[in-house]
Structures are given as C-alpha cells and as structure tokens.
Structure 1
Amino acid sequence: MPKKTLKRLMPDPGIIKNNKLLGLLGSRLHDINLWHLNRHSAAGAFAVGLFCAWLPIPFQMLLAAALAMVFRVNLPLSVVMVWFTNPLTMPPMFYFAYRLGAFLLGKPHHYEHFEMSLSWLTSAMSTAGPPFLLGCLVLGLVSSATGFMLIHGLWRWSVSRRWKLRRRGR
C-alpha cells in the first residue's frame, strides 16, 4: 500500500522539529497538517512539488517547503517531489518548456551560436527568456493539476478497492 511505504520513507517529524536551523520557522513547523499523510495532503504535496520542479530558480526545495506550509500539505512529500528536476532531467525539461513557450507565443525557435560571454547571455535571455518562462509556468501549472488529480484518484481507487476486498472477506 502506498501510504505505508510513504510513511516508512518519511523522516521523523520530531527530529525535524528539534533541528536548530529550522527553529527559525517557529510554531508553523509544528502544524500537524504538515506531517499528516492523507489523500488531500498527499495530492496537495504532489501539486506543490511538481509546480516548484518546473520553476527555473535555485533553492526550489525551500520554495516547495514554504508553499507546503502556506497550503498546509505534507511538507516532506512536497520537498521530495522537487527532485523530479535533477541534472539529468533539467535539459530536456527546460528545452521542452522553451519549445512550448515559443509555440504559445507564436515565435520561431532559433538558436544562435554559443559564446561564454555576458553579452551573449543577455541577448539570448532577451530573445529566449519570455518563451522559456511562459513554457515553465504552463508546464508547472499543468503538471501540478495533473499530479493532484492523479494522486487524489489513485488514493480513492486504492481505498475503494480495499473496501471491496474487505467485503468479500479477503
């Protein structure tokens, strides 16, 4: 069952709450909803984590943790979902985001020769930046909504399946 597996893999809330560095967050870290695992908190955590995974910013995990606290969803699961973005997946993800943004803006996608200079970087970001950021935003919203609905549906299906098996006497 996924709930048992997720609970076994999650860190102990007591250890995290007593961490000196995390003491800056105060009582917000002691909210029981941040550590409870149910259908709503898991689906919300997937939504937060997948949205943050598409953001082309450093410290995505910190943003995911902050959003988990704001929306009161499972904090560890939100942070772990950001790991969907890693050095192996980032190039194809961000290339696809750029292509999608260019398509949505109706701009042709073209590539200039690569140069390690500040002037090349600023000119490349002025032409490729808007399609890239739009693509990241759209894919973040779509994957967030899809992840929420998928986890919510799988959780409901799992619970109904267990109830059916229980009624049959298994």
Structure 2
Amino acid sequence: MPKKTIQRFIPKTEDLKASKHLKFFGEWLHNPNLWHLNRRSAAGAFAIGLFVAFIPLPSQMIIAAALAILFKVNLPLSVALVWVSNPFTIPAIFYFCYLVGASILGKAITQVHIEFSWEGIEHLIATVGPSFLLGSLVCGIFFSICGYFSINALWRYSVRRRYRKRR
C-alpha cells in the first residue's frame, strides 16, 4: 500500500529529468537507484526531504536533489517532500523553530517588529537569528529521523500485512 500511495503523489521521472533547475546534475540523474521506490529509498527520501524543508534557504528543491543524488535515495520523493514548507506553512514552521531554538538556548521569547529595511533585517538577525537557526537545525534533524523510522515501520507493516493476506 505505501508504494502505490507514494507513487501517486511524487513527480514523474520525465518531468524531473526535463526540469531546467535540475539540468546541471547531468548524468547523475540517469542513475536508476534515484528513481526506484523501495523501503530504503523511500525512508531515506523522507529523511532528506523533511530535513531540507526546515532549512531556511531558498532553492530547497536543489539542495534536496543534491542530497538525494549523494545518498542514492528516491529523488522525486525527496524533492516533493520539501514542499512541506510552502508559503502557507512557513510562518508556523519558522515560528515553531524559533520557539524550539529559544527554549534550547534559554532565551526569553521576544516580540519582534519586522521592519523592511537593512537596519530592520540586521536587528532581526541579531535578536532572533541564533534561536531560529538552532531551532531549524534541531527540528530538521528531529523530523527527518521521525520520518525515516515512520516510513520504514509503515513499509515493513504493509509488507507483513500483504504477506499474511496471501497466506
């Protein structure tokens, strides 16, 4: 069941190979392991996709694709999972990351007035930046580990259930 469900939601191989943003990976995109969906590749792709989703950088899809190529896990799934952090969820995710980082560092949670100027951005980075970045790293690691083991367990459960039905 997880394989068929996952395959419905991940982008098609041809679409990703033709993507202008992924063209610079060249021949590395032709590795068949990047497109094969099995327990190991799905769990690894979940870990990479969820980790990169918490990185507060643009071009998350390119970072996820590079890591998927490096670790030889399912490329479409890792790229698709980056969209967990989309324009609708980013404010909540980033605020949660800030709360986690502030609690780890033992800092009080401050109300910040966002001012769209260079001085405002410098002030924001100086006050909120360390807590936010640490929280993003911790949340990325935590949710990637949770995603890896959850998909691994779900896949094993599904295989066992299908085997029992067959018997």
Same fold (TM over 0.5): yes
Aligned residue pair count = 166
Q: Tell me the secondary structure at the aligned position of residue 139 of structure 1.
A: helix
The equivalent of 1:95 in structure 2 is: 95
Once the 2 structures are TM-superposed, how far is the Cα of residue 12 of structure 1 from its aligned partner? 4.1
Identify unmatched segments of 5+ residues in structure 2. Answer: none
TM-score (norm 2): 0.92
After superposition, the C-alpha distances for 1:17-36 in whole angstroms (9 at most, x for unaligned) are: 4x384443222111111000
The equivalent of 1:85 in structure 2 is: 85
Q: Structure 2 counterpart of 1:143, which letter?
A: F
Which range is displaced more, 95-104 or 1-10?
Answer: 1-10
Instruction: Check 1:20–1:153 CA distance in 2 against 1; reply closer, same or farther (3 A cut).
Output: closer
Q: Tell me the secondary structure at the aligned position of residue 86 of structure 1.
A: coil
Once the 2 structures are TM-superposed, how far is the Cα of residue 111 of structure 1 from its aligned partner? 1.7
Identify unmatched segments of 5+ residues in structure 1. Answer: none
Pairwise CA RMSD:
1.6
Say whether the 8 Å CA contact 2:16–2:76 is kept in structure 1.
no
After superposition, the C-alpha distances for 1:19-75 in whole angstroms (9 at most, x for unaligned) are: 384443222111111000000000000000000000010011110011000000000
Once the 2 structures are TM-superposed, how far is the Cα of residue 8 of structure 1 from its aligned partner? 4.3
Once the 2 structures are TM-superposed, how far is the Cα of residue 147 of structure 1 from its aligned partner? 0.0
Instruction: Check 1:40–1:31 CA distance in 2 against 1; reply closer, same or farther (3 A cut).
Output: same
The equivalent of 1:142 in structure 2 is: 142
The equivalent of 1:52 in structure 2 is: 52
Structure whose CA Rg is larger? 1
Q: Structure 2 counterpart of 1:33, which letter?
A: N
Work out the CA distance in 2 between the residues paired with 1:80 and 1:56: 17
Once the 2 structures are TM-superposed, how far is the Cα of residue 5 of structure 1 from its aligned partner? 3.1
Once the 2 structures are TM-superposed, how far is the Cα of residue 3 of structure 1 from its aligned partner? 1.0
Once the 2 structures are TM-superposed, how far is the Cα of residue 112 of structure 1 from its aligned partner? 3.5
Instruction: Check 1:118–1:16 CA distance in 2 against 1; reply closer, same or farther (3 A cut).
Output: closer
Is 2:117 the counterpart of 1:117?
Answer: yes
